[in-house]
Structure 1
Amino acid sequence: MDYGLFFIALSGALVSITFAQSHQYYFVNEQLNWTEAQRFCRNNFTDLATIENIADVNAVTNTGKQSDYTGKAWIGLYDDLVNSWRWSLNDSSFYGEGETMYRNWYSNQPNNLGGQQYCVALIAPSPYLGTWFDIECSVQWSFVCYNGEY
């Protein structure tokens, strides 16, 4: 058996596993508006949570279950009024192909109710199950930060 080939194949599997777990999420049980939450996350972690797939949704909701989570938390998605919905972390080198486009909106969302809903919250209890709502940025909720270092 060619052990060099076996090692290369095994190494590739380990790299994939490492990249699949690239974010560490931190639920912060402090009531802040979206801008204040973003500032807190940038000062103490990387940014408000960027969610790239359903595995990230599950990781974020599981993080919140370990505290007094009410089921509503700010994430890093917002409407910049120019390019529409974008992630708070604006470093294009950070994202892989398609990662900035993942969306998990609840039915009939975003709806910009009242013309002032430019920020996004993840809502976890049933029947929402980690889907997203647009909401006014001035509302004070808990939030989810993450470290996005690879």
Structure 2
Amino acid sequence: HDQPQPALSLLSFSSCQERQYYFVNQLMNWDDAQRYCRAHHTDLATIGNSTDVKQFLDIVSSTDKNVWIGLYSNINWTWSGEPNSVGSQYRNWESSDYDPDFILANQFCVCIGDNGGWWDYDCAKKFPFVCYNGNVSVVNKVCF
């Protein structure tokens, strides 16, 4: 049987971007979300600045859950699809909970809470997620 396709939403950014972003309102663990994004788009989303965080909150406002992004830890925090990209050093950890805190030495993936703060979390937890599509022509990119 074919599984129903998840709802997708286009995520617009406030600056010139060569990528498009999609909210996938389907619950998956981080590894499955990464596989899904790599199969249907390019990868899990990278967030480069505070403007991007605001846009993410706008696009994922239809869910009351945390949302996976492409940041994970394998000794160092790295973006799934763009380890050396511009903005790859940007972080927005949830300060009220002293994240990242690696509780039980088992929190190596990152999600965004409803206030835009980032939480390190157990990668096995199932959340919706945001993918990006890096196959957008530079000629056709939209600048806001």
Give the Cα separation in 1 of the matches to 2:112 and 2:56: 9
Larger helix share, 1 or 2: 1
| TM-score using structure 2 length | 0.77
Q: Is the 8 A contact 2:110 2:121 kept in 1?
A: yes
Which of 46, 61, 68 aligns to 1:50? It is 46
- After TM superposition, list the pairs within 5 Å mapping 1:130-145 onto structure 2: 130-145=116-131
Larger radius of gyration: 1
Match status 1:73 vs 2:67? yes
Which of 85, 94, 115 aligns to 1:106? It is 94
* Structure 2 counterpart of 1:43, one-letter code: A
Give the Cα separation in 1 of the matches to 2:133 and 2:106: 29
**Aligned-residue CA RMSD in angstroms?**
1.9
User: Percent identity among equivalent residues?
Assistant: 42
CA drift of 1:142 comes to 0.6
Deviating above 4 A after TM superposition, structure 1's stretches of 4 or more consecutive aligned residues are none
CA drift of 1:90 comes to 3.8
CA drift of 1:19 comes to 5.7
Give the Cα separation in 2 of the matches to 1:20 and 1:90: 17
- After TM superposition, list the pairs within 5 Å mapping 1:92-131 onto structure 2: 92=84, 95-96=85-86, 99-107=87-95, 108-124=98-114, 129-131=115-117
What runs of 5+ residues in structure 1 fail to find an aligned partner? 1-16
Give the Cα separation in 1 of the matches to 2:35 and 2:108: 17
Give the Cα separation in 2 of the matches to 1:26 and 1:71: 16
| TM-score using structure 1 length | 0.74
Report how many residues are paired: 122
